Structure 1
Amino acid sequence: MKTVGILGGMGPEATILLMQKVLRAVDAKDDADHIPLIVHQNPGVPSRIKRLIEGVGDDPGPVLAQMAQDLEAAGALALAMPCNTAHAYAPQILAASTLPFLDMRAATARVLPVGRIGMLASPAVRMTRAFDRVFQDAGVQIVWPKDEAPVLSLIRQVKAGQVQSGSRAEFQRIGEDLLQSCDHLLVACTELSLLTDDLPDGLWTDSLDCLVREIVDFAKG
């Protein structure tokens, strides 16, 4: 098994969820059958919401670049990052390390159906156009909610550990509204990955699941 380094800190719940999904993705008979991970859970990564949406705050790029170097020095053989928004800083990560970067966007594009895909993601993903190129190459047309404020509100709730009793129902409503103008939904925020229980079966993909498959395939390969 090859060791994968995880750039964490962009929501501790998301990092924990990634690790749980990686554990469940392996048909392990013993401890030694699991995927070796080195997790850099760094709460010092500057806020992507403040930097990209509000236009204030420090640049996360240099911190993520240093984390990539730390993981390489620690023995990781590839890098993965369970934060869709932070993929806007992938060029800095690639420049800082010689390791392969398991890109969540590319992994997702490979499994999405061709057509109109409704994005359930931070507005920062739209603003940075971080997914646009790889999705266009895959024949995917991105559709955004007309009102992104409720989506951002749910993301903030998860980050603050203040998920309310109606949060999952609100997320379901947002998804169903978006399906009126698209063929399939993409959950492209790992905070929102925690709210997917009530989304319509068979009509959505979670980019975190796509990254998990990429991690397992690399480690076993």
Structure 2
Amino acid sequence: MKMLGVLGGMGPLASAEFMRQLTLLTPAERDQDHIPTILWSDPRVPDRTAARVSGGEDPLPALVRGIRGLEAAGCGAIVIPCNTAHGWYEGMRAATDLPILHIVDAAAAELRRQGVTEGPIGLMGTTGTLAMRLYQDRLGIECLTPDAETQERLVMPCVGLVKANRIAEAYAPLAEVAQGLRARGAKAVVLGCTEIPLGIAAGPTLDFPVIDTIAALARAAILWARE
């Protein structure tokens, strides 16, 4: 079976959760049935949202450094369990001949798997992901997003809470935002930041379709590995 490369560390817990989901979702009866995987977890990659919205350090050199490491390890494809990093997708793709599975395409496949074929859908993510319109332009489905005040008061602090390993504290505010998008007519809510599913999983299950982009990317990786 081909080796999968995981360009991670953005954040470290999201990368670890990707590895857990990859293992749980793989049909397997023994160790040898699982997907050979190399995790490159480098939390030193500069902050992606800061780079995009406030002139922070460009993360592309660090991302390409990780890609080079995965190439050298013999990987056949790369996944990146960080939504905002996909703002540099074209730059990364230009730096390698390896396929890079796009997390937005994985989320689109998961929407279809859950029977959601039309909008509007709710979209939660970092301020950088929303500003770059990674989902709005690639999905081709009407997206409802939190207003700026909600984004800065609830969503971004909760992303920080998960990165600080204060996961349980993130649940109530994130659930409030997701429920607000649902009340505005969203048929499903895409958790378009890989910290957000961790916060949402820390409390009661929401009673409407939710797209965990970590799990969606894991399903895409399994499909690639078994083609």
Question: What's the TM-score bracket when you normalise by the shorter of the two chains?
Answer: over 0.9
- Which residue number in structure 2 is paired with residue 157 of structure 1? 161
Q: Which residue of 2 aligns with 1:122?
A: 126
Identity %: 31
Q: How many equivalent residue pairs?
A: 216
**1:147-179 alpha-carbon deviations (Å, 9 max, x no partner):** 21110010011112233x543122211111111
Contact 1:66/1:96 (8 A) holds in 2: no
Residue 84 of structure 1 and its aligned partner are, at CA, apart by: 0.5
Q: Matches of 1:132 and 1:207 in 2, distance apart?
A: 15
Q: Distance in 1 between matches of 2:214 and 2:142?
A: 20
> How high is the TM-score relative to the length of structure 2?
0.90
Deviations 1:31-86 (A, max 9, x none): 11111111111122111132223x14310012112211221121000010000111
CA contact 1:51–1:58 (8 Å) conserved in 2: yes
Root mean square deviation of aligned Cα = 1.4
Q: How does 1:117-196 map to 2 (within 5 A)?
A: 117-136=121-140, 140-146=141-147, 147-149=150-152, 150-163=154-167, 165-181=168-184, 182-196=186-200
| Aligned residues of 1:62 and 1:92 also touching (Cα < 8 A) | no
Amino acid at match of 1:141: E
Q: Could you tell me whether the CA contact under 8 Å between 2:122 and 2:144 is conserved in 1?
A: yes
Deviation of the 1:213 alpha carbon: 0.6
Alignment of 1:1-221 (within 5 A): 1-53=1-53, 55-112=54-111, 113=116, 114-136=118-140, 140-146=141-147, 147-149=150-152, 150-163=154-167, 165-181=168-184, 182-197=186-201, 198-221=204-227
Query: Partners in 2 of 1:167 and 1:155 — Cα distance?
Result: 8
Deviation at 1:26, TM superposition (A): 1.7
In structure 1, how many angstroms separate the alpha carbons of the residues matched to 2:169 and 2:105? 33
Aligned in 2, Cα 1:23/1:133: closer, same or farther, shift over 3 Å?
Answer: same
- Give the partner amino acid of 1:210: A
TM-score using structure 1 length: 0.92
Deviating above 4 A after TM superposition, structure 1's stretches of 4 or more consecutive aligned residues are none
- Preserved CA contact (<8 Å) 1:187 1:193: yes
**Residue by residue, what CA displacement relative to the aligned partner does 1:168-216 show, whole Å, maximum 9, x if unpaired?**
1222111111111122111111111112233423421112111111111
Q: Secondary structure of the residue that 1:97 maps to in structure 2?
A: coil
1:199/1:51 CA distance change after superposition, 3 Å: farther
Could you tell me which amino acid in structure 1 is paired with residue 3 of structure 2? T
Q: Distance in 2 between matches of 1:9 and 1:133?
A: 26
1:115 is paired with a residue of what secondary structure?
coil
Q: Mind listing any 5+ residue stretches in structure 2 that lack a counterpart?
A: none
